[in-house]
C-alpha cells in the first residue's frame, strides 16, 4: 500500500518545508498531501506555495490561505498584518502569468478531501470535521469537551487527518489523546472498529514545545510522526528583516511555541 506523507501549517517557512521534503524523499514516501495554511506568518510565501504546488498531490484551504485570498477574520493584529503583507508579495510578482498561476492555485484549494487508505475511509480537513477551516481540536478537548468531541467524531466514518493547532497527536473516539512521544516505536496502530483523528502537527511553526518541523507518514495500518531539524535562525532572521512581520513570529520558532 502506498505511503502518504502529510504536511500541514507550513506558514511561509520554506526553509522548514525544504528540510521536510528532503526527509520525505529519504524515507521513500509514495505521495505527499498538504492540509493547508501554506502561507501566513512567515517570510517566504511565494516559495512555499510553489513548492506545495510542485510536490503535493493535493492541498486543502487553511484559514490563513483563506485570509490572503479573501479577508482575514478573527485574526490577532500580528496575524492580520502578516496576511496583508503576504498578499502584497503575491501582488508584487512581476511575471503576470506566474502571479495568476499562484492565485488560481489558491483558488482551487478544497475545504475537504474524502478518499480511502486501504480499506479505511479517510477524511482530510484543515481544522475539524465539523468546521473544516476554522475549528481547533485541542488535546485538552479529549478530557474537557466531551460533547464537542462527540459531535466531531459523529462526522468521521473511520479516519480523519487535521492540522490547525500545530500540535501533533492522535485522538480516539474513546476520548483519548496520544502525543507522539507516548506512541513508541512504530507509531499509532489503526484498529478495526476504532475512530481516529490524527493531527499531523506543523512544518513551519510547531507549538508542542519541540521546535523541529513535524509531519506524519500514514500507512495502511498505522501512522508515524517524524521531526526534522532545520535552520531556524535562517527563517527567524528573514522574519525580523520584514517590518510588517512581528518579531515574536521569529522568536517563537526557537521554543516550538
Model pLDDT for residues 80-124, shown as the tens digit of each residue: 999 999 999 999 999 999 999 999 999 999 999 999 987 889 999
Which is higher by pLDDT, 58 or 73? 58
142-201 pLDDT, tens digit per residue, is 999 999 999 999 999 999 999 999 999 999 999 899 999 999 888 999 998 899 999 999
Q: Are 72 and 79 in contact (CB under 8 A)?
A: yes
Return left, alpha or beta for 36; rule: phi > 0 is left, psi -120 to 50 is alpha, else beta: left
196-239 pLDDT, tens digit per residue, is 999 999 999 999 999 999 999 999 999 999 999 999 999 999 99
Mean pLDDT across 240-256: 98
Distances (CA, A) of 66 to 36, 63, 121, 135, 234: 10, 5, 26, 14, 27
Q: In the prediction, which pLDDT does 185 show?
A: 82
Mean pLDDT across 20-27: 98
Residue 1 has pLDDT above 70, yes or no: no
Q: In the prediction, which pLDDT does 118 show?
A: 79
With cell 485570509, the residue in question is 67
Angle at the Cα of 86 from the Cα atoms of 80 and 89, rounded to 5 degrees: 150
| Residue 61 grid cell | 484551504
Q: In the prediction, which pLDDT does 198 show?
A: 98
Q: In the prediction, which pLDDT does 120 show?
A: 81
CA dist., res. 39 & res. 18, Å (int): 15
Q: In the prediction, which pLDDT does 184 show?
A: 81
Q: Which of 66, 64, 53, 67 is nearest to 102 (CA)?
A: 53
Could you give the percent of the chain with pLDDT greater than 70?
Answer: 99
Alpha-helical segments (H) within 75-185: 77-91, 96-108, 141-144, 146-153
Mean pLDDT across 21-33: 97
Amino acid at each position: 500500500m502506498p505511503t502518504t506523507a502529510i504536511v500541514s501549517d507550513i506558514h511561509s517557512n520554506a526553509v522548514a518545508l525544504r528540510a521536510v521534503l528532503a526527509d520525505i524523499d529519504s524515507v521513500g514516501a509514495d505521495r505527499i498531501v498538504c492540509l493547508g495554511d501554506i502561507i501566513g506568518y512567515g517570510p517566504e510565501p511565494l516559495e512555499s506555495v510553489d513548492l506545495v504546488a510542485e510536490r503535493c498531490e493535493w492541498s486543502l484551504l487553511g484559514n490563513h490561505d483563506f485570509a490572503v485570498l479573501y479577508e482575514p477574520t478573527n485574526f490577532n493584529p500580528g496575524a492580520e498584518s502578516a496576511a496583508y503583507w503576504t498578499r502584497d508579495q503575491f501582488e508584487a510578482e512581476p511575471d503576470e502569468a506566474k502571479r495568476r498561476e499562484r492565485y488560481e492555485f489558491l483558488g482551487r484549494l478544497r475545504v475537504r478531501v474524502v478518499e480511502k487508505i486501504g480499506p479505511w475511509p479517510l477524511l482530510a480537513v484543515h481544522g475539524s470535521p465539523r468546521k473544516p477551516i476554522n475549528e481547533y481540536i485541542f488535546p485538552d478537548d479529549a478530557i474537557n469537551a466531551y460533547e464537542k468531541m462527540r459531535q466531531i467524531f459523529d462526522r468521521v466514518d473511520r479516519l480523519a487527518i487535521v492540522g490547525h493547532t500545530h500540535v501533533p497527536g492522535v485522538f480516539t473516539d474513546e476520548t483519548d489523546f496520544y502525543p507522539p512521544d507516548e506512541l513508541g516505536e512504530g507509531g499509532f496502530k489503526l484498529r478495526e472498529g476504532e475512530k481516529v483523528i490524527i493531527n499531523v502537527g506543523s512544518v513551519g511553526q510547531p507549538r508542542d514545545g519541540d521546535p523541529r518541523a513535524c509531519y506524519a507518514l500514514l500507512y495502511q495500518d498505522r501512522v508515524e510522526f517524524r521531526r526534522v531539524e532545520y535552520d531556524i535562525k535562517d527563517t527567524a532572521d528573514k522574519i525580523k528583516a520584514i517590518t510588517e512581520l512581528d518579531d515574536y513570529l521569529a522568536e517563537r520558532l526557537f521554543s516550538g511555541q
